[in-house]
Amino acid sequence: MLRVRKDLCLGCGLCIESCPRQAISIVSATAEIDQSRCDQCRLCLDACPHGAIVELAPVSKRELCASVTKLRDRAEDIITRIEMLKGGVNKDKQDVR
């Protein structure tokens, strides 16, 4: 499903011209997509020069948990490596003395 990010939309109307289904209109100075008309052709995604049209992909709770776990593991790995590098630097300093 496509959505307009109101914080990025400047209301220029370029997306309206690109839409073959007349699914986009300007409401209160920002674009709005009528989901009942939209057929997900994605032409408006390329037409917007401000990246204000984004695609929302539904994610299950299980997928979200798996992503968080993966990111946490990666972060812990990076922290471990940094600690190892720090240990190596401190050892070098001691060897110099």
Least distance (Å) between residue 59 CB and ligand SF4: 20
Least distance (Å) between residue 92 CB and ligand SF4: 54
Task: Using the minimum distance from each CB to ligand SF4, give the nearer residue, 52 or 92.
Answer: 52
Contact 67, 19 (CB under 8 A): no
Task: Using the minimum distance from each CB to ligand SF4, give the nearer residue, 39 or 83.
Answer: 39
Kindly state the helix (H) or strand (E) to which residue 79 belongs, with its residue range. helix 61-96
Contact 35, 1 (CB under 8 A): yes
DSSP state of 33: E
CA-wise closest residue to 21 among 43, 50, 48: 43
Task: Using the minimum distance from each CB to ligand SF4, give the nearer residue, 13 or 88.
Answer: 13
Least distance (Å) between residue 54 CB and ligand SF4: 10
Least distance (Å) between residue 57 CB and ligand SF4: 14
Evaluate the CA torsion angle 19, 20, 26, 27 in order and state its sign. Answer: negative
> Which residues in this chain contact ligand SF4 in the complex, by CB under 6 A?
2, 4, 9-15, 18-19, 21, 23-24, 31, 33, 38-44, 47-48, 50, 52-53
